Amino acid sequence: MPYRPFQSTYYNERMQASPALLRARAPYLVKNTITGAAIVALVIGIYTYTIKVISQDEFEDVIVPPEPVRRPQSGSTTDEVKLAMAQKKQ
């Protein structure tokens, strides 16, 4: 076996775990899987709860104000302001 200084012998050339590594991990496989599943379930639970609480379907409590009465549009706003200032001066 050529000595590869920066590659761990616990992984083969294709970076798959070697049998020695799998044997070393074996006593912890079940416990770690359960812990991982519990953490993922916790995260999913937090997301579900948050989105459920902030998402609403009924909007009856929001009162939409009625449309305000509009004057006919004569010109731009600056003309209207000038008109109002002239009226005030008089």
Write the DSSP assignment of 40-69 as a string of letters: HHHHHHHHHHHHHHH-----TTSPPPPPPP
Distances in whole angstroms, Cα of residue 11 to Cα of each of 2, 5, 7, 32, 41 = 14, 13, 8, 20, 31
> Which of residues 28 and 47 has its CB atom nearest to another protein in the complex?
28
> Whole-angstrom Cα distance, residue 49 to residue 67?
38
Gyration radius of the chain over CA positions: 36
Nearer to another protein, 20 or 85 (CB): 20
Q: Which stretch binds another protein (CB under 8 A): 7-15, 43-51, 59-67, 77-85?
A: 7-15
Residues 13-72 that bind another protein (CB under 8 A): 18-21, 23-24, 26-27
Nearer to another protein, 11 or 49 (CB): 11
Taking the complex as a whole, the smallest distance from the CB of residue 58 to another protein amounts, in Å, to 57
- Binding positions for another protein, rule: CB under 8 A: 1-3, 8-10, 18-21, 23-24, 26-27
